Amino acid sequence: MSKTWSVEEHLEDILRSIRPLDPIELNLLDAQGCTLVDDVIVPAALPPFDNSSMDGYAVRTADVEGASEEFPAVLSVIGDIAAGSADELTVGSGEAARIMTGAPLPPGAEAVVPVEWTDGGTGGGPADSMPAHSDAPEGATGQVRVHRPVHPRQHVRAKGSDVKPGTVALKAGTVLGPAQVGLLAAIGRGTATVRPRPRVVVLSTGSELVAPGEPLGPGQIHDANSFVLTAAAREAGAIPYRVGAVADDAETLRATIEDQLIRADLVVTSGGVSVGAYDVVKEALSRVDAFRGGEEDRMDAVADPVEFRRLAMQPGKPQGFGLIGPDRTPILTLPGNPVSAYVSFELFVRPALRTLMGRQPVRRRTVRARLAGDDALSSPEGKRQFLRGDYTPPGEEDETGTVRAVGGAGSHLIAALAQANALIDIPEKTGRLAPGDEVTVVPLD
């Protein structure tokens, strides 16, 4: 009898064989969700110039010293400075320039008096409200009465106060979410060098399978797995290609996989890996001459590119893993029952995808929780069991969360899977769990 593998041994074998994908340069929005390969250095100060944080008047502080409602400082308004303005206004003694939020602080001015601290100006000009843009420096005229003093730099955002040139904007390994994409845009980067999203080809096998939307004949069932796995791959950040169901014919399956390799960074199959008469995946992939790639590979070809294993695990006992084709593309062959396929995805495929994407950590977080419900659970000794659970995080009163098993151990129970938000991870040596016992939970969020 060949060896029985633990979940950890199988996962480690997979992760040992997989390298992060080569970096590519992508447009900023295409890089969303991807991992930065290098530190990004700030090329120039942000903000690039001193600018106003308020709508108001740019002034010299000495001119408004001691100003009050009763004794306002009266300044003559020399024009408008709108955001985006490149006007060459200089504020002299006794003068003020009407300024909009974000507009550059004009030479001569030291601070900005918010419009609320003034009478709003008495002179003419385009409008009482600030113009969106004024081409005419003389947009605002007349006088403004200032009711409060300002200290130097008040209501001024200093050049470089956000980030300074030469500093690290984002570290290598950062995942680009909306805020990070925003920062790259703000510092003027139109592209980012990242690990691309892996392309995952998803196939299910089984002559009994019919695409959803099609009527079932006798003995047929709808193909759930290629949908579960495609959705899960997409959620993990990959670009999935759902090939759909392939009949239980080894030659067709082998040819289909070979055709798909061109667009695959990873291949996932379901079904056909147990010990039955129609274990098509095993038959198609364990052929010595399958997927050897080019002539050079033939010289030092691996005898079995894909290794099929028995894991001490429930569900998901039969698993296969290998590197196939000229590019040695990783393939994970998952068992056919939908719950087994999904649990196997979570345990093995997701970490593999995260490794390809250069994302850390590759495994999901775990938490401890108390088993809720009235019934004790029995678990097969010698096997690591992953039950489906409904997890409630800790509340204000309780320090640990609770988890309730949903559905039974049956790996065909996809309805219960759809009610679950977590997996309950029961160690190999545990045979029984009573309500209130502490368990390890893998939240699926």
Residue numbers of the site for Mg ion (CB under 5 A)? 206, 271-272, 336
> What residues does 320 pair with on adjacent strands?
308, 333
Segments of 329-400 assigned E as strands: 329-334, 367-371, 377-378, 384-392
224 binds ligand AMP (CB under 6 A): yes
Q: DSSP letter string over 371-383?
A: EPSSS-EE--TTS
Q: Whose Cβ is closer to ligand AMP: residue 222's or residue 287's?
A: 222
Q: Whose Cβ is closer to ligand AMP: residue 57's or residue 278's?
A: 278
Q: How far is the CB of 336 from Mg ion (least distance, A)?
A: 5
Between CA 77 and CA 66 the distance in angstroms is 19
223 binds ligand AMP (CB under 6 A): yes
Report how far Cα 440 is from the mean position of its chain's Cα atoms. Answer: 25
Q: Whose Cβ is closer to ligand AMP: residue 174's or residue 337's?
A: 337
Q: Whose Cβ is closer to ligand AMP: residue 14's or residue 202's?
A: 202
Q: Under rule CB under 6 A, how many of the chain's residues touch ligand AMP?
A: 18
> Which of ligand AMP, Mg ion, none lies near 149, with the C-beta cut-off 5 to 8 A by kind?
none
Q: Which of 421, 379, 381 is nearest to 402 (CA)?
A: 421
Q: Which two tokens stand for residue 277?
A: 């008469």
Mark the segment that binds ligand AMP (CB under 6 A) among 87-95, 114-122, 161-169, 220-228.
Answer: 220-228
> Which of ligand AMP, Mg ion, none lies near 221, with the C-beta cut-off 5 to 8 A by kind?
ligand AMP
> Which of Mg ion, ligand AMP, none lies near 104, with the C-beta cut-off 5 to 8 A by kind?
none
Burial of 11 (0-12, 13-18, 19+ CB in 10 A): buried
> Which of ligand AMP, Mg ion, none lies near 270, with the C-beta cut-off 5 to 8 A by kind?
ligand AMP
Q: Whose Cβ is closer to Mg ion: residue 237's or residue 271's?
A: 271
Q: Using CB under 6 A, pick the residue from 149, 271, 320, 330 that binds ligand AMP.
A: 271
Q: In what helix (H) or strand (E) does residue 25 lie, and over which residues does it extend?
A: strand 24-27
Q: How far is the CB of 280 from Mg ion (least distance, A)?
A: 7
Q: Which of 24, 44, 50, 46 is nearest to 35 (CA)?
A: 24
Mark the segment that binds ligand AMP (CB under 6 A) among 149-157, 163-171, 187-195, 221-229.
Answer: 221-229
Q: In what helix (H) or strand (E) does residue 397 lie, and over which residues does it extend?
A: none
221 binds ligand AMP (CB under 6 A): yes
Q: How far is the CB of 221 from ligand AMP (least distance, A)?
A: 6
Q: Using CB under 6 A, pick the residue from 34, 209, 233, 433 that binds ligand AMP.
A: 209
Q: Whose Cβ is closer to ligand AMP: residue 174's or residue 411's?
A: 411
Between CA 346 and CA 440 the distance in angstroms is 15
Characterize the bridge pairing of strands 384-392 and 313-314: parallel
Mark the segment that binds ligand AMP (CB under 6 A) among 94-102, 137-145, 195-203, 271-279.
Answer: 271-279
Q: Whose Cβ is closer to Mg ion: residue 118's or residue 269's?
A: 269
Q: Which of 206, 358, 366 is nearest to 278 (CA)?
A: 206
Closest chain position to ligand AMP (CB): 336
Q: What's the first-to-final CA gap in the chain, in angstroms?
A: 39
Residues of this chain, 323-382, that bind ligand AMP according to CB under 6 A: 335-338
> Which of Mg ion, ligand AMP, none lies near 106, with the C-beta cut-off 5 to 8 A by kind?
none
Q: How far is the CB of 271 from ligand AMP (least distance, A)?
A: 3
Between CA 432 and CA 381 the distance in angstroms is 9
Cβ contact 212:223 at 8 Å:
yes
Q: How far is the CB of 229 from ligand AMP (least distance, A)?
A: 9
204 binds ligand AMP (CB under 6 A): yes
Residue 19: φ, ψ to 5°: -110, 150
Cβ contact 332:27 at 8 Å:
no
Report how far Cα 58 is from the mean position of its chain's Cα atoms. Answer: 43
Q: Which of 278, 354, 348, 421 is nearest to 6 (CA)?
A: 348
269 binds ligand AMP (CB under 6 A): no
Kindly list the residues in this chain that would bind ligand AMP in the complex (CB under 6 A).
Answer: 204, 206, 208-209, 221, 223-226, 270-272, 274, 276, 335-338
